[in-house]
Structure 1
Amino acid sequence: MSENTPGQSPSGPEATEILDLGENPAGKSKKPLIIGAAAVVGVAVLATAGTVTAVALSNAGGSPAEAFPASTVAYAEIDLTEAKDALPTLRKLPSLEKELGLKKGEDPRETLFTNACDDLDFAADVEPWIGYKAAVGAVPTDAEPVFAFALQVTDESDAEAGLPKLAECGGSESAWAVADGWAIIAETDDDLATIEKAVEAGTLAEDAGFEKWTGDVGGTGFITAYAAKELPEVIADAAESGALDEAEGELAENPMGGIAPMPDPGALADTIRSAMKDFGGGAFTVRAEENAFELEAASTVGDQAKSVEAGTIAGTLPKDTTAVIAANPADGWLTTGLAGSGAEDQFTQMLGMAPGDLEKLLGDSFAIAAGEIDLSGPGSLDFGIKLDGADSADVEKFVGDLTAGFGAEGIVSVDSEGEMTSVGMGDYGKELLTDGGLAKTDKFKNAVPNAEDASGVVYVDFDGLDGLVTAEAPEVADDIEALGQLGFSAYLDGDTSRALARLTVD
């Protein structure tokens, strides 16, 4: 490592290097760290580079978690060595192939870095030292958490020469150090020193919580993220101290910001602590397989996860269902979810009922479904909701009052049979009451393999969107045509709450 501060020459191999990149506003900068951001994104795109060989990948060992302290509360890494299978699948998406330079013989890293900085010579300044892995992490302190990036480097001398040139794109001060095959980038010298000192007590790679949760999702994929059990308390402390006030200012400029104003910092902190009181950590990983991408997540079990049957009701929908959101939520799910958010009054005013009343109205489980997508008129739209365990009379009254308020009487119908109630456009509601056999289709089984045990299910069949997209958004029609299905399921596995998302490509 070397040191270089404004007005000084390098002083020695063990010091930290500070990059003064221009005028810095008073106080601690909130700007993203340009070096780390470019590095992480660069390695993400590296995961699709057609120029990387199996031989090179086999030589890329270690984990960025080795560069972070065990006290890290939030962490995300990108690992090129796990991304080889993604390339053929990504090339089936024409727009992505073009924008990221995924054609054989092209190196998408060059496109990324040269577009970010016109004066950067990728071949001379970046390519000689950039590695295959990168990560970002948050490390708690007595004040606010500090953030840092770790970038794998293949040549430390070239990295020390190349990082300052890359950093010139940022326009703010950053601190960095290169050692043991990693470049660690932080916002200030103090932040970097804090992280380096914390690493002396142990690394994240050796932490029991990190090992448990990343192991529970099958190990690291080409993208992996981890949240320590201490993360909710760190976020709550930040909210309580007013550190999130900046986010409130940004929401105030958003036309949607007034729907749910930012609650009092103390109330927000209490809500976070209450909602996450049982959180014991978690992780997710993204991996690629032939013609599919898969995201798997695992965390501690909360009350909201201790229910099933969402997949059961979703599986009874028609075989040609284009999209569905199904849930079998725990008691009080909506009331708990909105508590402390400041949105309860707006919710009640908009629907004319309290959150708890809507929970009762929806019954034990429900599935919101769309069939054939035809926007030529209200009568041609196959859209509705199927309810299990709802009071059909209450549902009919609510729908009648709601449609009357919008002048839409007669467009929506309510039907029931046994424990099932449906609300649909035209005759679609009657179709929802029968067992349509969606669960038996290969598309659904491939996209939502754990549906029978799920408390929540999302399913989209992109084949049903081809006509609509071709007519309304032809610029992305080729990409949509290449997609197969999207599936998501949340389910229990013993004492672990799991989620699985799959995106298939034809």
Structure 2
Amino acid sequence: MSETTPGQTPSEPAAEILELGEAPAGKSKKPLIIGAGALLGVAVLAGAGTVAAVALSKAGGSPAEAFPVSTVVYTEVDLTEAKDAVPLLRKLPSLERELGLKEGDDPRESLLAKACDELDFARDLEPWLGYKAAFGAVENGDVPALAFALQVTDESEAEKGLPEVAECAGAEAAWSVSDGWALVAETDQALAAIEKAAEKGTLADDAGFEKWTGDVGGTGFVTAYVSEKLPEVLADAAASGAFDDAGGDLAENPMAGAAPVPDPEELAEAFGTAMKDFDGAALTVRAVEGAFELEGASTVTEQAKGAEAGTVAGTLPKDTTAVIAANPADGWLSAGLAGSGVEDQFTQMLGMAPGDLEKVLGDSFALALGELDLGAPDGLQVGLKLDGADAAGVEKLVGDLTKGFGAQGMVSVDSEGDVTTVGVGDYGTDLLADGGLAGTEKFKNAVPNADDASAVVYVGFDGLDEVVTTEAPEVADDIEALGQLGFSAYLDGDTSRALARITVD
């Protein structure tokens, strides 16, 4: 059954439904509360609710059952998978205060009460609303159709409640309820097109969807999927002029002149070139013992020269507070700047072309922040550790830069074998040896795939406690509750993988 709220016309753009705007008299100005932002909000709120509120007996299937194979972008929230987040989120004082949840609260009610005061959760939503929801963009001519799916526990009650949702939100929508899902689209035409496409096959049974979501360990409490058709859809949308309005927005930006919006044909070609080898991707967010994880997988488009970033990062001192390490692919800088129009300015500023700088910097690097003691004269420990760099070239580059900024003598360059370091004060000397960070439990727990990684990020929040207490006391309790943040990107055959972890003490 399809329903449309009064006053809707097929020509109304999705933006008028998805964005805040002037609502009719007597109606809320809130966006439709089943928007993408609300879905993510549900996931966060679920963690602060109770396990009892997220009853596994109501798990059901997947919202992907309501979307067709032609869905190109999909994001799912599953509150039944969020129960492990409860003890972790409650250790973050400001988050618990901000959410305002008490033990026994239903996370759905807490979210919807914030989104729309006029809704009565017990009357309008609780009789039919389940614990899963999803947002999807479906192929539909030049511009994809946007839709939402909500789990339904009672279809007749959902038919009563959905008009109240749209009325309260001051938004217009078309919807249908069947097979345990309410599918909501922007117009009757879009809804009909999506339902017709789903008759040929659903996303839940699609091989690409199964492959990529399986590659990230199945669905967590937030799971996203991107189809291999995305480059084609983006190119078609660009060619149709769907992004033309961006030019007007950028024109008001003082930086717009540095990166003008290309014409539709150029933009379409750029999408096709940049993603020519794209074969799909997925990511999932989950809570595990003592940590939150975000895992992603996608097609390999550009391989680095080797997995050395984690190795270099692991040789930093044990008391390292933060590090960004990378082992970039050949031509990473010159290719990245090609066609940007800033190559000449770059060369003039540094005295060498992007390709020459790549050779000087070598194969891999780690930018490190050591112990922080802002009260000490040498309390800022910042340094760069390079593997395979041209030591003489690095020394010349640093000398020219420090002279240009009037900072002679503040930065030192040291080298030993294939290792070259650049550091504030004497910190570069400390970086030459193997400092043993890789052997610490904190680093191993935060970056479990460091040995295979071509990119690594690590933050030890213990090293920030004193600085945060002094400079930002309002978040000091949260920082004290956090353990480490880790990120690693690595290759697994022809699949590019990434894992981010944030641990909670």
Q: TM-score, normalised by structure 2?
A: 0.91
Report if aligned partners of 1:305, 1:492 keep a CA contact under 8 Å in 2. no
Q: Secondary structure at the match of 1:487?
A: strand
Q: Does 1:83 align with 2:82?
A: yes
Partner Cα distance (1:258, 1:408) in 2: 32
Change (3 A) 1:482 1:258: farther
Report if aligned partners of 1:21, 1:168 keep a CA contact under 8 Å in 2. no
What residue in structure 2 maps to residue 123 of structure 1? Answer: 122
Deviations 1:283-339 (A, max 9, x none): 111111121011111112222346311101000011111111101111012233344
What residue in structure 2 maps to residue 357 of structure 1? Answer: 356
Partner Cα distance (2:468, 2:7) in 1: 45
Report if aligned partners of 1:101, 1:107 keep a CA contact under 8 Å in 2. no
- 1:63 Cα deviation from its structure 2 partner: 0.2
Q: Does 1:34 align with 2:32?
A: yes
Gaps of 5+ in 1: 2-15
Report if aligned partners of 1:100, 1:108 keep a CA contact under 8 Å in 2. no
Q: Does 1:247 align with 2:246?
A: yes
Q: Does 1:262 align with 2:261?
A: yes
Partner Cα distance (2:286, 2:54) in 1: 20
What residue in structure 1 maps to residue 47 of structure 2? Answer: 48
Q: Secondary structure at the match of 1:48?
A: helix
Change (3 A) 1:347 1:146: farther
What residue in structure 2 maps to residue 65 of structure 1? Answer: 64
Partner Cα distance (1:368, 1:491) in 2: 19
What residue in structure 1 maps to residue 22 of structure 2? Answer: none
Deviations 1:446-499 (A, max 9, x none): 000110111111111111111111111111111111000011111112222111
What residue in structure 2 maps to residue 465 of structure 1? Answer: 464
Partner Cα distance (1:44, 1:79) in 2: 7
Partner Cα distance (2:345, 2:102) in 1: 50
What residue in structure 1 maps to residue 162 of structure 2? Answer: 163
Q: Does 1:224 align with 2:223?
A: yes
Report if aligned partners of 2:305, 2:327 keep a CA contact under 8 Å in 1. no
2:32 partner letter: I
Partner Cα distance (1:71, 1:482) in 2: 43
1:206 partner letter: D
Q: TM-score, normalised by structure 1?
A: 0.91
Report if aligned partners of 1:301, 1:496 keep a CA contact under 8 Å in 2. yes
Partner Cα distance (1:166, 1:418) in 2: 67
Deviations 1:166-202 (A, max 9, x none): 2234433221111111111111221111111110110
What residue in structure 2 maps to residue 19 of structure 1? Answer: 5
Partner Cα distance (1:359, 1:262) in 2: 29
Change (3 A) 1:353 1:117: farther
1:17 partner letter: E
Q: Secondary structure at the match of 1:47?
A: helix
Change (3 A) 1:112 1:21: farther
Partner Cα distance (2:61, 2:46) in 1: 16
Report if aligned partners of 2:53, 2:107 keep a CA contact under 8 Å in 1. no
What residue in structure 2 maps to residue 368 of structure 1? Answer: 367
Change (3 A) 1:300 1:26: closer
Superposed CA RMSD: 2.3
Change (3 A) 1:258 1:154: farther
- 1:49 Cα deviation from its structure 2 partner: 5.0
Corresponding residue pairs, total: 491
Q: Does 1:308 align with 2:294?
A: no
- 1:259 Cα deviation from its structure 2 partner: 4.7
Gaps of 5+ in 2: 19-30
Identity score, percent: 73
Deviations 1:55-74 (A, max 9, x none): 82133110010000011111
What residue in structure 1 maps to residue 172 of structure 2? Answer: 173
- 1:378 Cα deviation from its structure 2 partner: 7.6
2:68 partner letter: P
1:18 partner letter: T
Partner Cα distance (1:341, 1:171) in 2: 43
- 1:403 Cα deviation from its structure 2 partner: 1.6
2:84 partner letter: D
Report if aligned partners of 2:58, 2:131 keep a CA contact under 8 Å in 1. no
Report if aligned partners of 1:39, 1:151 keep a CA contact under 8 Å in 2. no
Q: Secondary structure at the match of 2:235?
A: helix
Partner Cα distance (2:336, 2:177) in 1: 44
